[in-house]
Amino acid sequence: MTAPGPRPTAGGKPAMNRARALVVTALAAAVLLTGCGPKPGPAGTVVDRDRTYWPATKQWTYKLTTEDARGKRTTFKVKRSVYKNCVRRSKYPTCTNR
């Protein structure tokens, strides 16, 4: 007597269900990750830039400091591309579109 094989489910063959589940999981992960990243900072003139290397994780952290028309300074995290594009005395967030 042979062992019974996998039983088909209501949606069809088990292999198709696994493939469909993998595709759905991958799409869900992609949608969630597109929203990741630092939130944009306030508009103003870039007055300082800072980057820190974390050897434990082998990653960089990039920060910009902007100053608004009233003189208020705000420091916030940015992506590497924004850090590279926004030099001192440039206007944030306009400098991100280079």
SS3 of the chain: the string is CCCCCCCCECCECHHHHHHHHHHHHHHHHHHHHHCCCCCCCCCEEEEEEEEEEECCCCEEEEEEEEECCCCCEEEEEECHHHHHHCCCCCEECHHHHC
Q: What is the pLDDT of residue 69?
A: 94
User: In this predicted model, what pLDDT tens digit does every residue of 35-71 receive, in sequence order?
Assistant: 677 888 999 999 999 999 999 999 999 999 999 999 9
User: In this predicted model, what pLDDT tens digit does every residue of 6-27 receive, in sequence order?
Assistant: 665 555 566 668 778 777 777 7
Give the residue with greater pLDDT, 81 vs 21: 81
Chain-centre distance for alpha carbon 59: 14
Q: What is the pLDDT of residue 5?
A: 61
